[in-house]
């Protein structure tokens, strides 16, 4: 049974996308779906070695002499779910529901970032009534993780000089520049020994989480850092021994939940209660749903004392959150997000995402993290670097976009820098002559199971896209 209105092509296509698992690194099926879509509509397509897809549509009458326009969206999504939800992101379709005009997925991320953009481009390609210049529809993979799709793109496959990135989250706003970043991975091989003390499971839950770029300035609690603070307080007061910890699912999502198993004397309960109450007070406005639970558990082995201390202390002191803010342009300039902590194969691992408006911010934060980690016996490395997208003083495409928006809505289009990472910087490096704008419908709480898409905004944004490409 359909949830969305299939008389609207973009809603129909979006619902079809939600039935195909497409988390980062698992996009082959949805890439093949786009190739089949192109064939069904008589359009030429190219699928490259990493599963990027480009679909070409000829200009309509009267637009033959206009420069081609590139419509771009990424086909992967962030896979996040609530701990109590049974869902296999490798094979299960999302379970959609509409609540008060908002589309959601039950207990999981929705993938509106960037399924909404993909669906709108598909609708443009399928519509034979629209007026437009030649269209090159670019669908990239792994934007939410490595950005390998954008990095691997062969620019010779495109001749357009204007690119509309449909990966924004506010319908009245176009982004003018975005942050660059790099992931930093810290790890330490640890030793285990038999446990002789009572064991406990400590769970941190109920935090709002969110996008580590778009929400990092809001001061929301990071479940991994909250857990680290509770463990540090317990360790300093009573001495504890870690057996395991797990927190976060995606490096670029502010984690909502985290847990640890440790051994300690029973008196540790009072220490954790006292510290948790302090944290609850600190988070009462940003994360009113914050809760925690401490219960008895089983742990046959625990980390050797020195290794346990090193892991707890490192997590406690790691920088996390907004680091620099520009009052002039009103946007975060640098930040770090402790996205994932884990223990596997006797290795403690901490994964942090860094973002910066300048490469110097990113390099400095990476160096700082590696220096701190080394002091606790952890090795570290960086990966998945991507460049910032710098502001363009002159942008005819942005000017046209603003004119069309004002005509449609009677109000000015907002133009904002963002702290999130976009593929635009990579495209600009590959094709320096590109004029780039962004757009998208209103999306809320992306990268979390509370993600929702405003369906009325979805309608308006698609109409805006159609008017914009007709004006080019």
287 flagged as catalytic: no
Two tokens, residue 259: 């847990």
Give how far Cα 218 sits from Cα of 113, 249, 256, 335, Å.
Answer: 20, 20, 14, 12
Alpha-carbon distance of 459 to 399, in angstroms, equals: 23
Alpha-carbon distance of 186 to 215, in angstroms, equals: 24
| 112-144 b/e (C-beta count within 10 Å ≥ 16 → b) | bbbbbbbbbbbbbbbeeebebbbbbbbbbbbbb
Contacts (Cβ under 8 Å, ≥6 apart) of 128: none
459 flagged as catalytic: no
Q: Which of 76, 113, 114, 136 is catalytic?
A: 76
Q: Using omega within 30 degrees of 0 as the cis cutoff, is the peptide bond preceding 114 cis?
A: yes
Judge contact between 217 and 210, C-beta under 8 A. Answer: no
User: Which contiguous run of DSSP H or E holds residue 314?
Assistant: helix 305-317
Region of 302 on the Ramachandran plot (φ > 0 left; ψ -120 to 50 alpha; else beta): beta
Q: Which of 114, 143, 171, 445 is catalytic?
A: 143
Alpha-carbon distance of 449 to 107, in angstroms, equals: 5
Report DSSP state, residue 249. Answer: S
Alpha-carbon distance of 84 to 102, in angstroms, equals: 23
| Unique residue bearing structure tokens 């907002």 | 414
- Cα dihedral 425, 426, 427, 431, rounded to 10, equals 100
Alpha-carbon distance of 354 to 385, in angstroms, equals: 9
Two tokens, residue 109: 């991320």
Secondary structure (3-state) at 53: strand
State the maximum Cα–Cα separation within the chain, in Å, rounded to a whole number: 81
Alpha-carbon distance of 252 to 25, in angstroms, equals: 15
Is 305 exposed, middle or buried, given 0-12, 13-18 or 19+ CB atoms closer than 10 A? Answer: middle
Q: What is the CA radius of gyration of the chain?
A: 24
Question: What are the start-end ranges of the E strands in 126-198?
Answer: 135-140, 162-165, 173-189, 192-194
> Which residues participate in catalysis according to the annotation?
76, 143
């Amino acid at each position: 049974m359909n949830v969305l209105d299939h008389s609207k092509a973009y809603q129909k296509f979006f619902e079809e996308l939600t039935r195909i698992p497409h988390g980062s690194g698992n996009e082959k099926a949805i890439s093949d779906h786009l190739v089949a879509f192109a064939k069904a509509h008589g359009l030429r397509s190219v699928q490259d070695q990493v599963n990027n897809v480009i679909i070409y549509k000829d200009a309509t009458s009267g637009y033959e002499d206009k420069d081609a326009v590139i419509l771009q969206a990424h086909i992967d999504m962030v896979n996040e779910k609530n701990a109590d939800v049974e869902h296999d992101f490798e094979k299960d379709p999302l379970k959609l529901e509409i609540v008060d005009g908002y589309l959601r997925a039950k207990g999981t991320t929705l993938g509106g970032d960037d399924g909404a953009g993909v669906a709108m481009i598909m609708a443009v390609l399928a519509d034979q009534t629209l007026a437009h210049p030649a269209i090159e529809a670019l669908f990239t993979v792994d934007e939410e993780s490595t950005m390998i799709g954008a990095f691997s793109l062969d620019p010779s496959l495109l001749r357009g000089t204007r690119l509309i990135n449909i990966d924004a989250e506010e319908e009245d706003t176009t982004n003018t520049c975005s942050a660059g970043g790099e992931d930093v991975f810290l790890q330490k091989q640890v030793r285990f020994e038999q446990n002789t003390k009572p064991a406990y499971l400590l769970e941190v839950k109920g935090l709002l989480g969110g996008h580590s770029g778009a929400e990092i300035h809001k001061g929301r609690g990071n479940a991994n850092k909250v857990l680290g603070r509770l463990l540090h307080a317990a360790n300093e007061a009573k001495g504890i021994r870690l057996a395991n910890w797990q927190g976060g699912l995606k490096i670029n999502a502010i984690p909502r939940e985290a847990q640890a198993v440790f051994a300690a004397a029973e008196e540790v309960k009072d220490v954790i209660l006292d510290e948790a109450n302090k944290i609850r007070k600190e988070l009462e406005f940003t994360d009113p749903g914050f809760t925690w639970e401490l219960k008895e558990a089983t742990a046959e082995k625990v980390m050797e004392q020195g290794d346990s201390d090193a892991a707890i202390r490192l997590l406690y002191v790691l920088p996390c959150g907004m680091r620099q803010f520009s009052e002039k342009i009103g946007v975060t300039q640098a930040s770090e997000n402790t996205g994932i902590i884990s223990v596997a194969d006797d290795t403690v691992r901490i994964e942090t995402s860094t973002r910066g408006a300048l490469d110097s911010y990113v390099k400095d934060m990476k160096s700082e993290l590696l220096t701190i980690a080394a002091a606790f016996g952890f090795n570290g490395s960086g990966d998945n670097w991507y460049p910032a997208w710098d502001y363009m003083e002159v942008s005819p495409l942005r000017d046209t976009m603003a004119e069309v928006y004002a005509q449609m809505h009677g109000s000015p289009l907002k133009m904002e820098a963002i702290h999130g990472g976009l593929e635009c910087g990579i495209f600009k490096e590959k094709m320096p002559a590109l004029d780039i704008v962004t757009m998208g419908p209103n999306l809320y709480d992306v990268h979390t199971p509370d993600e929702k898409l405003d369906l009325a905004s979805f309608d308006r944004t698609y109409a805006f896209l159609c008017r914009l490409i007709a004006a080019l």
